[in-house]
Amino acid sequence: MILGLDISTSITGVTVIDNKGNVVFCEAWDTRKTKNFFDKASLIGGQLINIRIQFPITHIVIEQSLQMFRAGFSSAKTLTLLSKFNGVVSWLCYNTFGLEPEYVSATTARKQIGIKVPRGTKAKEVVLEHINKTVSDFEYELTKAGNPKAGTYDRADSIVLAKYAYLTQQQ
């Protein structure tokens, strides 16, 4: 079974897919109310132990943290914090499952599973639309304003990562 993680210090998307490529577990772990970095990591670590108890994970894929600046996006401080948290969660995965995670960029994972993001469109929305069409039991709620609730995009991204790993293993 494959574990896909879209790691963030606010909400981490988590998906487990079986050996046939079916989504068997998909959640968003919300750590926004947990202010301490190490408490956030402990919360994720506890959830990973629950995954280990439920599923025989044989492969872990994690979205590679951002490596460069882009105008209008994250600051150096944010990128550093995210990389640090990504490293801690990677270690928790290794310690919990005894498996070294594979890292893949979001762009590479999307391309592998056939998601094309047209120029000028928001990748998160294109990914959500694709997952909504291709994963039969993927459900989510909307806010009063009509937007997907927090964690929806993270869950969708974690499915993309897990599906990427599954398709790569099949080749």
Residue 91 has a pLDDT of 97
Q: What is the mean pLDDT of residues 13-18?
A: 97
pLDDT tens per residue across span 88-136: 999 999 999 999 999 999 999 999 999 999 898 899 999 999 999 999 8
CATH class as words, domain 2-170: alpha beta
pLDDT in tens, 132-164: 999 988 999 999 999 999 999 999 999 999 999
Enter the pTM of the model.
Answer: 0.91
* Average pLDDT across the chain, whole number: 91
Query: CA-CA distance, 59 to 1, in Å (whole number)?
Result: 7
Q: What is the pLDDT of residue 71?
A: 46
In whole angstroms, give the CA distance from residue 171 to residue 167. Answer: 7
Q: Residue 149's CB: how many other CB atoms inside 10 A? A: 11
What is the per-residue pLDDT for 69?
46
| pLDDT value of residue 74 | 59
> 20-29, 56-65, 69-78 — which is least confidently predicted?
69-78
- Taken in order 153, 157, 162, 166, the sign of the CA dihedral is positive
Q: How many residues does the chain have?
A: 171
C-alpha to C-alpha distance for 9 and 78, rounded to whole angstroms: 10
Do residues 89 and 5 make contact, with C-beta atoms less than 8 angstroms apart?
yes
- pLDDT score at 63: 94
Answer yes or no: is pLDDT of 75 > 90. Answer: no
